[in-house]
Chain A
């Protein structure tokens, strides 16, 4: 499965390198290195971080509906970016936007761990996540109503929808270290997740430090998904759908799907981002739709299918 996903990822990258507005003819290098390559790298990093975070969160919370958005990580990244916008920092200093998003994700996770308590359990972490999401959402709405002008409002809204256009290698350099570090933390949680399938008591009796596993899962998600949200905005459903797709093919043992979840998330987001550039050619659109809208649109049928399969 890992091998097949790797081949798929290489194929999707090649396709993504060839498809788009820029014309690869006389001077291919600027188009490839300045436009397409950052976009491919970001899709792989952001999608992989989302897929892996989703797989770990669903495992650690024993909840098939968990995803990075549930813990408020995506929401607080959005809030961080909007605060930067509101202060007008983004206009004078372009990297301020993703840096603000990253700061928001880190602050959101700090609140999450604070709300959940010193030795969190699954339900307390979910409730803390809902609380962080709600506060971030409320403050975001407040910031939007205080927006200095309609132009800023439109730009923020578009950014919140999520997307990968007009990103540079700077964004890659900003997002790669936290995403890869978060992925490393999350990949090491495998045996703990397996033990947690039987509940927190049994896992503890097997010698798994349950509270620490939950905290590491939250911290790893903040890095892997929060950094992604800070450069690509709020892209939903990848973290939710990827683990379900893999479980149907690889069995349900939580540790078995972890590395594959990174690769599958990367494939999914890269393919979505490539297809999105083709849409204006087949549909009467002035510009490609936001990536976040596309993933949500394609993610919803999966969610319905999952719900139907879970019904007795």
Chain B
């Protein structure tokens, strides 16, 4: 099973993660939150086994979406999603079609990925992760570049995915999305886990972490879809 036990990571002489223990659990949507440079991405990469002295999970079991996923070549959206089948060594159409549908990029399937918008590209990259049909999703800012409605769509998809029995770990800057959709919020600061608690109780600690006030009073803002 994927997880870290008392993991310390140093890159280029700088310690980025200190003594971190974290295990994604099935049926759970976990949000990793914290200020810039807190070690969120490094924690996710350590879970994916991409750092020295970390163990690489079975690629059929875990899908990893990096923060700045770009394609060097102008593959079509469908060809990008098909890359998710490489761990299985097949090119079965059904999982790829399902993934394109789930991520809402069916209509773009034959368009080159360098000819669509940043948000559409982000969803195409997410479709690549879904095409693998893994047990664990490790997603670095899947809602970056997305418009508010699309961000809620993606978070609801991840909620449904966790409810269907998968473990989903997401790095999120949007605290409101984390509090609304996640089961569990892990707060990081300076490479340490400051708090690991249910989303319903996370707001005071998260606000303290960023040094921001928080409130429950309604302010003018966009509301999530019904």
| CA of A247 to CA of B83, assembled, Å | 18
Q: Which residues of A contact B87 (CB under 8 A)?
A: 206-207
CA–CA, A254 to B80, complex, Å? 12
B72-A202 in contact (CB<8A) = no
- CB contacts (< 8 Å) of A195 on chain B: these are 83, 86
Q: How far is the CA of A194 from the CA of B80 in the complex (A)?
A: 9
Q: Which of B14-22, B59-67, B178-186 faces chain A?
A: B59-67
Considering only residues 169-206 of chain A, those with a C-beta below 8 Å from chain B are 191, 194-199, 201-202, 204-206
- Give Cα A269–Cα B176 distance, bound, in whole angstroms: 61
B128 with A201: CB separation less than 8 A:
no
A199 near B86: Cβ-Cβ < 8 Å: no
Q: Does A252 contact B (CB under 8 A)?
A: yes
A205–B83 CB distance below 8 A: no
Residues in B whose Cβ lies below 8 Å from that of A202: 64-66, 69
* Chain A residue at smallest Cβ distance from B138: A205
Is the CB–CB distance between B64 and A205 below 8 Å? yes
A206 and B73 within 8 A (CB): no
Are the CB atoms of A205 and B71 closer together than 8 Å?
no
Q: Does A251 contact B (CB under 8 A)?
A: yes
Given A202-B69, A204-B50, A204-B56, do A194 and B83 touch, yes or no (CB 8 Å)?
yes
Is B118 close to A, CB under 8 A? no
Q: How far is the CB of B180 from chain A (nearest CB, A)?
A: 28
Q: Tell whether B7 is near chain A: CB-to-CB under 8 Å.
A: no
Kindly supply a per-residue 1/0 record for chain B positions 41-75, scoring 1 wherever the CB is within 8 Å of any chain A CB and 0 otherwise.
Answer: 00001001110000010011011111001111111
Number of A-B contacts (CB under 8 A): 69
Chain B residue with the shortest CB-CB distance to A255: B79
Q: Report whether B64 and A201 are in contact in the complex, using a CB–CB cutoff of 8 Å.
A: yes
A209 to chain B, nearest CB (A): 10
**A247 surroundings in chain B (CB, below 8 A):** 73
Partner of B69, one of A194, A199, A253: A199
Docked Cα-Cα span, A59 to B80, in Å, equals: 15
Flag whether A208 is at the interface (Cβ < 8 A).
yes
Q: Which of A201, A205, A208, A254 lies in contact with B73, CB distance below 8 A? A: A254
Q: In the assembly, what is the distance between CA of A251 and CA of B112, in Å?
A: 9
Say which size band chain B's interface belongs to. 20 to 34
The chain B residue with its CB closest to the CB of A119 is: B52
B76 at interface by CB-CB < 8 Å: yes
Q: Distance in Å from the Cβ of A242 to the closest Cβ of chain B?
A: 15
Cα-based distance from A202 to B75 in the complex (angstroms): 15
| Nearest CB on A from B178, distance (A) | 23
CB of A62 within 8 Å of the partner chain: yes
Q: With A205-B59, A206-B59 given, is the CB distance from A62 to B79 under 8 Å?
A: no
Question: Interface readout for A233-260 with B: 1 if CB under 8 Å, 0 if not?
Answer: 0000000000000010001111000000
A197 touches B48 (CB 8 A): no
Choose one: A191, A205, A206, A251; the contact of B76 (CB below 8 Å).
Answer: A251
Q: For window 74-97 of chain B, which residues contact chain A by CB distance below 8 Å?
A: 74-76, 79-80, 83-84, 86-87
Tell me how many residues of A have a C-beta within 8 Å of chain B: 21
The answer to whether B83 touches A62 (Cβ under 8 A) is no
With A198-B83, A252-B112 given, is the CB distance from A205 to B63 under 8 Å? yes
Residues in chain B near residue A199, CB distance under 8 A = 66, 69-70, 72
Q: Complex Cα distance A205/B45, Å?
A: 9
Complex-state Cα separation, A198 to B113, whole angstroms: 11
Residue from A62, A205, A254 whose CB has the most chain B CB atoms within 10 Å: A205
Cβ-defined contact, B59 with A198, below 8 A: no
Contacts of B56 in A (CB 8 A): 204
A201 CA to B50 CA, complexed, in Å: 7
Taken together as a complex, chains A and B put the C-alpha atoms of A198 and B67 apart, in Å, by: 12
Contacts of A254 in B (CB 8 A): 73
Complex interface: chain A residues within 8 A of B132 (CB): 206
User: Which residues of B sit under 8 angstroms from A191, Cβ to Cβ?
Assistant: 86
Chain A hits for B74, CB < 8 A: 251-252
Point out the residues of chain A lying under 8 angstroms from B60, CB to CB. Answer: 207
Least distance between A56 CB and chain B CB atoms (Å): 13
Interchain CB contact under 8 A, B72 and A205 = no
Query: In the assembly, what is the distance between CA of A191 and CA of B86, in Å?
Result: 7
Residue of B48, B64, B86 with most chain A CB atoms under a 10 A cut-off: B86
Q: Known contacts being A204-B50, A205-B50, A205-B62, is A198 close to B70, with CB within 8 Å? A: yes
Of B62, B63, B79, which one neighbours A253 at CB under 8 angstroms?
A: B79
Q: Which residue of B lies closest to A206 (CB)?
A: B86
Q: Which 9 A-B pairs have the closest CB atoms?
A: A207-B59, A62-B72, A205-B64, A252-B73, A252-B74, A207-B87, A206-B86, A197-B72, A197-B71
**Partner-A contacts on B (CB < 8 A):** 45, 48-50, 56, 59-60, 62-66, 69-76, 79-80, 83-84, 86-87, 112, 125, 128, 132
6 contacts between A and B (CB under 8 A): A195-B86, A199-B72, A201-B48, A207-B86, A251-B74, A253-B75
